[in-house]
Amino acid sequence: MAESGRSDRGSEERAGLLPEHSLLSFEEYMEMQRAVGNATRFRILDLLVDEGAHSAKELKTALDIEANSLHYHLDTLVDVGLVENRKRKEPSSDGLYSYYRATSLGEGILEHGVRELMREEWDLLDAYSE
């Protein structure tokens, strides 16, 4: 019973943070924040936003990440909606070519979250070093 009271209070505290008919729930936004809060996942998303779509092999090489670890982090980013996995038929291959790219939510979370805080830190450093 206390557990449910805690949940209800949490819902009341979150009231007003999002529009009534928000695209995503508060919990979904928090899942995205937790996902990008991991250094490896941040690096993956950062590279995809800056350089565009990459295959898993290209990401593995560019970020020097073991394949099993890379796929674990990619799956997490895909599950929360920050990255999408697309497949297309390549003329020179017998099968499908799979690649990953940042979603618009992924770009927004990165640009208006961690990157914005990093820019503000640089701005403050510049302001105080003059």
3-state secondary structure 22-75: CCCCHHHHHHHHHHHCCHHHHHHHHHHHHHCCECHHHHHHHHCCCHHHHHHHHH
The pLDDT assigned to 47 comes to: 97
Q: Is 11 exposed, middle or buried (0-12, 13-18, 19+ CB in 10 A)?
A: exposed
Which residue ranges of the chain lie beneath pLDDT 50? 1-10, 12-13
The pLDDT assigned to 62 comes to: 97
User: What is the rounded CA–CA span in Å between residue 71 and residue 14?
Assistant: 33
φ, ψ of residue 99 in degrees (nearest 5)? -145, 160
Q: What is the per-residue pLDDT across 36-50, written as a single tens digit (0 to 9) for each?
A: 989 999 999 999 999
Domains of the chain: 23-128 (1.10.10.10)
The pLDDT assigned to 1 comes to: 38
